């Protein structure tokens, strides 16, 4: 795939905008204000122990140590810490925080969620541009609790990249809420969403994460995916991603975020459109 200068600038901006977004939406220090010192001690010490073990095992040189320092400084200056952490660490955090669930499998949030996307009702079309690229996709589904009861009034927040692989509010030149919408299930828990299929996504290659990828000889691709957050009163929030069959990166996702249960089974319809059925089962909150 050839990359134009515009696409390159767009990709770089996306990585950095995620830092800005994180600062506006989250108060991470509030959340850990009361974490006991023993917990901080354990986590910080064991991370350092693990790094020390790598240094010893591979006899890391001063040139390598200094390259690491320079690179970490750059990641901060580029605003790519959210991108780095979401791509290479979040999948394990997601795993250990959801392994008790009986309902749907989830996946990572990634760096490009924005809360309060425009409400579309139970049946609606996600905000999109005139002539938006990508195969039109109709998605029908239901939200239920683990006991099978319908969850009416559940929220399905959907956000995804466009057919060039770019997210609104992170890449310039895209209308604010493009391909971002909130759907609310009817009394029967059902919803019907009209959108377009996103393209496979390449994480920005011209920032610090890209430097690491190039230096290590990795690739930068995520398979095409739809992001969702599904919520209902009294139930645990489900954050997930849905994938398309046959994508070459389903088995080789840079963010390690694909699970077999999250791969859709879309059917091709007349006029080259697609339809898909996918339901969500939410776990009731315990206690
Ligand atoms: C994405 O679109 C994404 O979903 C993740 C997890 C990381 C980078 C870009
Ligand atoms: Fe994404």
198 CA → ligand 2 middle, Å: 10
Q: Is residue 39 part of a domain?
A: yes
Q: How many domains does the chain have?
A: 1
Q: Is residue 287 part of a domain?
A: no
Q: What is the pLDDT along the chain (287 residues), one digit of tens a residue?
A: 344 555 555 666 777 788 888 877 777 777 788 899 999 999 999 999 999 999 999 999 999 999 999 999 999 999 999 999 999 999 999 999 999 999 999 999 999 999 999 999 999 999 999 999 999 999 999 999 999 999 999 999 999 999 999 999 999 999 999 999 999 999 999 999 999 999 888 999 999 999 999 999 999 999 999 999 999 999 999 999 999 999 999 999 999 999 999 999 999 998 889 999 999 999 999 87
DSSP assignments along 191-225, one per residue: EEEEEEPPPPEE--SSSHHHHHHHHHT---EE--E
Q: Is residue 240 part of a domain?
A: yes
Indicate the SS3 state at residue 8.
helix
User: Nearest bound ligand to CA 220?
Assistant: 1
Q: How far apart are CA 167 and CA 181, in angstroms?
A: 13
Where residue 76 sits, what CATH number does that domain have? 2.60.130.10
Q: Is residue 161 part of a domain?
A: yes
Q: Is residue 140 part of a domain?
A: yes
Name the closest-CA residue to atom 6, ligand 1: 110
**Which atom, in ligand 1's list, is nearest to the CA of 90?**
6
13 CA → ligand 2 middle, Å: 15
State the pairing for strand pair 190-196/238-243: unpaired
Indicate the SS3 state at residue 260.
helix
83 CA → ligand 1 middle, Å: 7
Domain, as residue range, for 190: 3-282
User: 196 φ, ψ to 5°?
Assistant: -130, 155
User: Nearest bound ligand to CA 255?
Assistant: 1
**In sequence order, what are the beta bridge partners of 144?**
150, 281
211 CA → ligand 2 middle, Å: 20
Q: Is residue 199 part of a domain?
A: yes
Pocket test for ligand 1, best of 17, 109, 112 (most atoms within 8 A of CB): 112
112 CA → ligand 2 middle, Å: 7
Residue 80 exposure: Cα atoms within 13 Å on the Cβ side = 24
Q: What is the pTM of this model?
A: 0.93
Name the closest-CA residue to atom 3, ligand 1: 110
Secondary structure of 22-91 in HEC code, one letter for each residue: HHHHCCHHHHHCCCCHHHHHHHHHHHHHHHHHHHHHHCCCHHHHHHHHHHHHHHHHHCCHHHHHHHHCHH
List, chain by chain if needed, residues with CB within 6 Å of any ligand 1 atom: 83, 86-87, 108, 110-112, 201, 203, 222, 255, 257
- Is there a contact between 275 and 266 (Cβ–Cβ < 8 Å)? yes
Q: What are the tens digits of pLDDT across the range 176-208?
A: 999 999 999 999 999 999 999 998 889 999 999
């Amino acid at each position: 795939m050839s990359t134009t200068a515009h696409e390159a600038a767009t990709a770089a901006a996306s990585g950095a905008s995620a830092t800005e977004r994180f600062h506006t939406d989250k108060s991470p220090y509030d959340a850990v204000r009361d974490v006991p010192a023993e917990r901080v001690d354990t986590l910080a010490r064991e991370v350092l122990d693990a790094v020390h073990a790598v240094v010893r095992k591979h006899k890391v040189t001063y040139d390598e140590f200094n390259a690491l320092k320079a690179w970490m400084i750059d990641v901060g200056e580029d605003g790519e810490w959210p991108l780095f952490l979401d791509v290479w660490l979040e999948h394990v955090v997601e795993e250990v925080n959801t392994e008790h669930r009986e309902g749907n499998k989830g996946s990572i949030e990634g760096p490009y969620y924005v809360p309060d996307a425009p409400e579309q009702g139970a049946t609606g079309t996600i905000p999109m541009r005139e002539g938006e690229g990508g195969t039109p996709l109709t998605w029908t589904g239901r939200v239920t609790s683990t006991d099978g009861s319908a969850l009416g009034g559940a929220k399905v927040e959907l956000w995804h990249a466009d057919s060039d692989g770019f997210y609104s509010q992170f890449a310039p030149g895209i209308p604010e809420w493009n391909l971002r919408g909130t759907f609310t299930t009817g009394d029967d828990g059902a919803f019907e969403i009209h959108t377009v299929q996103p393209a496979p996504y390449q994480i920005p290659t011209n920032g610090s994460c890209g430097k690491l990828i190039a230096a290590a000889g990795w690739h930068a691709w995520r398979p095409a995916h739809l992001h969702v957050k599904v919520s209902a009163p009294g139930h645990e929030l489900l954050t997930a991603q849905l994938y398309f069959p046959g994508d070459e990166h389903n088995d080789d996702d840079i963010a390690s975020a694909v699970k077999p249960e999250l791969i859709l089974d879309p059917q091709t319809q007349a006029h080259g459109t697609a339809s898909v059925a996918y339901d969500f089962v939410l776990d009731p909150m315990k206690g």
